[in-house]
Homo-oligomer: A and B are copies of this chain.
Amino acid sequence: MELVTGVKMEKPMEIGTEVQVRGSVYALRDMGNLIFLILRRREGLLQGVISGEGAKSYLKDVGEADTIEISGILSENEKAPGGVEVIVDGVNVLSKATGEMLPLPISKWRLQTSLEAKLNYRAIALRNLRERAKFKLQEGLVRGFRDYLYAHGFTEIHTPKLAARGAEGGANMFRLDYFHKPAVLSQSPQFYKQMMVGVYDRVFETAPAFRAEKHNTKRHLNEYISLDLEMGYIDSFTEIMEMETGYLQAAFALLKAEYQKELRILDLELPKVEAIPAVRFSEIKELVAREYGHKIKNPFDLEPEEEVLISRYAKEKWGTDFVFVTHYPTKKRPFYAMEDPEDRNYTLSFDLLFRGMEITTGGQRIHDYHELLEKIASRGMTTEGMEQYLMAFKHGMPPHGGLGIGLERLTMKLCQEENVRETTLFPRDMSRLEP
């Protein structure tokens, strides 16, 4: 019997001391009696320098993409990545690559290659510093979401992705056989998070959602990460927008504090989120139509072009990258959306647009049992399969509302990317199930 007692925190390396450093060989620059050996590590790049007549002998077994350990004195060097380098006096190979040429030149600053190639060689493409920096920022966005909500009294929940029926209905569900019973993959944790508001008052979840939508666009994924929250005891749906604004402020503060390296690698400036304008759907729709000579085709929803124009307007007039569009038409919102008591053609709901694209849908929900039943009936829907959901309302639910944020879209817009696949580790779309 042996005893396992835990892990010590790694000590930071000190200048002038002997260090052992491990990493993957990112680049080898052989200048004769002077060899630069660049290691790729999770912290970034680290340069090793080997000089003198025997320099080459250290490297006879070392090739690109091998993982190795170098030892030597850590020294300052302004010109080296990170301002330090190791004066190497020993090299130890940990694991050999095959030596075959890499399918993509990952040690270039920018991977000048097609999205298709990046996705086909995903495990390799992501080793590029700029590619991987995007997903490190994505980590910060999720982490900020959770930390902000923990601090505001939310409870994290895990709801099932296999279900007998979908929350939103419609045709866009993946169907499967579950031990000889029909099942679907969850499009949204909507019903579950509402039920859990009855338990914890405030809940959130960060989990995959699945949509069998037959869209092959730059903004659609068939599997994505949804940052969901739902909160009870609200006086107005404005409180949900306030919570999202607060989240964005906290997340960007976290990125600024702990993800500076990645922001620099990607040369990104964080957008301002001190205040986000909120405008009514019907007003802004007409406003941008007039302002930019756009012809309104669908009065009940926003077309992608209109989202772009509204964001353009917000940027030009108010100087903001974010804009809330509120009071969407009842006709286009799900049955559980609460209608505006002042005009029942509209709902107490909102979308958040970020640089021309919807990244969030949210709003207040109906909390009264009888009102919910009437709404279901008036839409010609059946309550079959909703018994458990309705039971929560029968036995008392506080006034509540919530939202869902598309993580990959938020990351995409933050990173100024043009395609949501650029900010998805392993995207799933109509034609892509691998890798």
Contact = CB atoms under 8 A, between A and B. Distances in A.
Interface string A358-386: 00000000011110000000000000010
A302 B200 CA distance: 39
A367 B159 contact: no
Interface string A70-98: 00000000000000000000000011111
Contacts of A155: 42, 135-136, 139
A58 interface: no
A412 to B, nearest CB: 14
A290 to B, nearest CB: 15
Contact of A24 (B5, B65, B162, B398): B398
A53 interface: no
A319 interface: no
Contacts of A192: 425-426
How many of these chains are in the complex? 2
B67 A4 contact: no
Nearest to A42: B201
A396 B1 contact: no
Contacts of A335: none
A174 to B, nearest CB: 6
Contact of A434 (B98, B135, B164): B164
19 contacts: A3-B277, A4-B277, A5-B245, A5-B276, A6-B249, A7-B243, A7-B245, A24-B198, A25-B396, A94-B399, A103-B395, A123-B195, A138-B158, A160-B425, A174-B178, A175-B177, A176-B185, A208-B208, A389-B435
